[in-house]
């Protein structure tokens, strides 16, 4: 496994691989790697000749400085993990390398960024779009892999790739969960054992909400009651939304055959957790 911290040697190496027509897959991460990342890496390893994993805790996508400071960093462990996984190339840039000066470009994604993460984390998707654009420019992969765990991020990046004409094929990989249903996340490292057990209720409530939706209950009622139920358990729910799975605009009723996303963000202590489920085809019992 090759580890690069500079752009020139990385690009030199990759251009040799491209000359020999190797297909390149990119898995961008912020490190503190877990089985969720592994699922992306395995998919890339299967579908490409060479997999590049980037590890970079991108400061511009954090709207909360303590979240940035407390974000877990464990480079040595991550490198061992990647070596075991069979990853080919790791790119670990520094802040100076990624941001020679304070960026001034501002991205806009219209309605897509006005809801959920975009609404509650101002500037977040601007930072995501900046760093992903830079990585796509630097690495120029054939395929790039993102998790459904960050569904809105995936949809924003899909728009970015279309609007800026990047020649990459994007893939959205399903959410990897623990045995109790808790979506794996680097931020789970900041939860106590008791909090981790409690956190599994997020997924339980997503499942209950999806069942109620399929049974014909009103989305607004489901969302309000689910948020209240989570709050009663000790969460501070930021949003619990039933939305169109493509536009992410909230739905007040659902029509037959619609793909619907149920998305939640909730704090447990000072740790912010997100999760979602997609209901493939809701029936026509809207009220």
Residues labelled catalytic:
37
**CA gap 145, 158 in Å, rounded:** 11
Instruction: Supply the minimum distance, in Å, between the C-beta of residue 26 and ligand AMP.
Output: 11
Residues 92 and 75 sit within 8 Å (Cβ to Cβ): yes
Query: Which of residues 117 and 238 has its CB atom nearest to ligand AMP in the complex?
Result: 117
Residues at the contact surface with ligand AMP, assessed by CB under 6 A: 29-30, 36-37, 39-40, 146-147, 149-150, 173, 175-176, 183-186
Query: Smallest distance, Å, CB 182 to ligand AMP?
Result: 9
Strands 2-4 and 89-91, by their bridges, are: parallel
Asked if 267 and 236 touch (Cβ cutoff 8 Å), the reply is yes
Q: What three-state secondary structure class fits 149?
A: helix
Minimum CB distance to ligand AMP smaller for 183 or for 223: 183
Q: How many Å apart are CA 53 and CA 37, to the nearest integer?
A: 10
When the beta carbons of 178 and 283 are compared against ligand AMP, the nearer one is 178
- H/E element, 27: strand 24-29
- Please name the residues in contact with 93: beta carbons below 8 A apart, sequence gap of 6 or more: 5, 7, 54, 56
Cα–Cα separations (whole angstroms), residue 88 to 17, 27, 79? 11, 11, 11
Rounded to whole angstroms, the Cα distance separating 168 from 227 reads: 38
Q: What sign does the dihedral 10-15-18-22 (CA atoms) show?
A: negative
- Min separation Cβ 196 and ligand AMP, Å: 14
Minimum distance between the CB of residue 65 and ligand AMP, rounded to whole angstroms?
18
53 or 223: whose CB is closer to ligand AMP? Answer: 53
> What is the smallest separation between the CB atom of 15 and ligand AMP, expressed in angstroms?
26
By beta-carbon proximity to ligand AMP, the closer residue of 115 and 254 is 115
């Amino acid at each position: 496994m090759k580890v690069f911290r500079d752009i020139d040697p990385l690009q030199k190496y990759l251009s040799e691989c491209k000359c020999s027509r190797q297909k390149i897959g990119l898995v961008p991460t912020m490190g503190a790697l877990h089985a969720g990342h592994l699922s992306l890496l395995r998919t890339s390893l299967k579908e490409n000749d060479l997999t590049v994993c980037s590890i970079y805790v991108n400061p511009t996508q954090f709207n909360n400085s303590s979240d940035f400071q407390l974000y877990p960093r464990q480079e040595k462990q991550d490198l061992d993990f990647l070596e075991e996984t069979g990853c080919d190339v790791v790119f670990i840039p520094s802040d100076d390398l990624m941001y020679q000066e304070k960026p001034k470009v501002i991205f806009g994604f219209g309605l897509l960024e006005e809801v959920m993460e975009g609404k509650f984390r101002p500037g977040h998707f601007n930072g995501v779009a900046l760093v992903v654009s830079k990585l796509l420019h630097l690495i120029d992969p054939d395929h790039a892999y993102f998790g459904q765990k960050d569904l809105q991020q995936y949809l924003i990046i899909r728009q970015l790739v279309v609007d800026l004409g990047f020649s990459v094929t994007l893939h959205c990989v399903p959410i990897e969960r623990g045995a109790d249903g808790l979506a794996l996340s680097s931020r789970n490292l900041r939860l106590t054992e008791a909090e981790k057990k409690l956190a599994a209720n997020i997924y339980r409530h997503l499942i209950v909400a999806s069942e109620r939706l399929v049974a014909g209950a009103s989305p607004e009622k489901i969302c309000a009651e689910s948020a209240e139920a989570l709050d009663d358990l000790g969460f501070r729910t930021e949003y619990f939304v039933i939305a169109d799975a493509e536009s992410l605009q909230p739905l007040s009723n659902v029509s037959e055959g619609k793909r619907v996303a149920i998305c939640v963000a909730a704090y447990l202590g000072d740790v912010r957790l997100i999760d979602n489920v997609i209901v493939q085809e809701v029936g026509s019992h809207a009220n």
